Amino acid sequence: MEKLIEYIKHFVIPFFFIISLSLIVVLIFKRIYYQYTLPYKHRIIRKSEIFLTEITLSSPDKNILKYKIAKFKSEIPISKSWCKKMLIEDLIRMRSNLKGKAAKNILVIYKKLDLNHYSASLIRDFRKYKKYEGIHHFQALCYKPGISLLKKYLFDPNKIIRSNANIAYLALSKGDWQAVDKLPIKISIITTIKVMDVLHTENIPLPSDIDLWIQSKNPTILKLAIMAMVFYNYRNKSAEIIKLLHHEDKALKIDVITAIQDLFLEEAEDEMLSLFYNESIEIQLEMLEALAAIGSEKTIDFLKNEIPKQEIKDLKLKMVCSLDNLDREVLNTLGKQDSDTQKMINHNRKLEL
In SS3 terms, the chain reads as: CHHHHHHHHHHHHHHHHHHHHHHHHHHHHHHHHHHHHHHHHHHHHHHHHHHHHHHHHCCCCHHHHHHHHHHHHHHCCCCCHHHHHHHHHHHHHHHCCCCCHHHHHHHHHHHHCCHHHHHHHHHHCCCHHHHHHHHHHHHHCCCHHHHHHHHHHCCCCCHHHHHHHHHHHHHHHCCCCCCHHHCCCCCHHHHHHHHHHHHHHHCCCCCCCHHHHCCCCCHHHHHHHHHHHHHCCCCCCHHHHHHHHHCCCHHHHHHHHHHHHHCCCHHHHHHHHHHHHHCCHHHHHHHHHHHHHHCCHHHHHHHHHHCCCCCCHHHHHHHHHHHHHHCHHHHHHHHHHCHHHHHHHHHHHHHHC
Alpha-carbon span 334 to 295, nearest angstrom? 18
What percent of the chain lies above the pLDDT cut of 70? Answer: 85
Q: pLDDT band at 306, cuts 50/70/90?
A: very high
Average pLDDT over residues 84-91: 91
Of 3-12, 138-147, 192-201, 271-280, where does mean pLDDT reach its minimum? 3-12
The pTM is what? 0.64
Higher pLDDT, 99 or 319: 319
Is the pLDDT reported for residue 101 higher than 80? no
pLDDT tens-place string over residues 146-183? 999 998 888 888 878 888 888 888 888 776 665 565 55
pLDDT tens-place string over residues 311-352? 899 999 999 999 999 999 999 899 888 888 898 888 888 876
Is the pLDDT reported for residue 73 higher than 50? yes
pLDDT tens-place string over residues 50-66? 888 887 777 667 778 78
Of 185-194, 262-271, 283-292, where does mean pLDDT reach its minimum? 185-194
User: What's the pLDDT at 187?
Assistant: 47
